[in-house]
Amino acid sequence: GNSVTQMEGPVTLSEEAFLTINCTYTATGYPSLFWYVQYPGEGLQLLLKATKADDKGSNKGFEATYRKETTSFHLEKGSVQVSDSAVYFCALDQGAQKLVFGQGTRLTINP
């Protein structure tokens, strides 16, 4: 079946550090891929998405590229801020808008 695997957390970085959160997937075909973010006390919000191979999604300084060769969709940001502290979820659309989520990666940024 379809599945998403994220790097184990939690991840702790200093402000202005470079961020990578790994995400790999298993799926039939080429599903749309997403990163959602959950800030403390809030619901999940869509951060970025990519709908086909080699697409790059970007938002708020975050980027992720859809790599079908490596079945990956790693999240990156060049310089993180304290306000980026949150839980990040990678997800795929397995069809008919049904999302399969990874287990989430908790990110803490220290000033």
Partner 1 sequence: EAGVAQSPRYKIIEKRQSVAFWCNPISGHATLYWYQQILGQGPKLLIQFQNNGVVDDSQLPKDRFSAERLKGVDSTLKIQPAKLEDSAVYLCASSFPPYNEQFFGPGTRLTVL
Residue 76, both tokens? 């990156």
In the complex, the smallest distance separating the C-beta of residue 63 from partner 1, rounded to whole angstroms, is 18
57 is a site residue for partner 1 (CB under 8 A): no
In the complex, the smallest distance separating the C-beta of residue 16 from partner 1, rounded to whole angstroms, is 29
55 is a site residue for partner 1 (CB under 8 A): no
Of the candidate residues 14, 20, 26, 45, the single one contacting partner 1 (CB under 8 A) = 45
In the complex, the smallest distance separating the C-beta of residue 4 from partner 1, rounded to whole angstroms, is 7
41 is a site residue for partner 1 (CB under 8 A): yes
Per rule CB under 8 A, count of chain residues that contact partner 1: 22
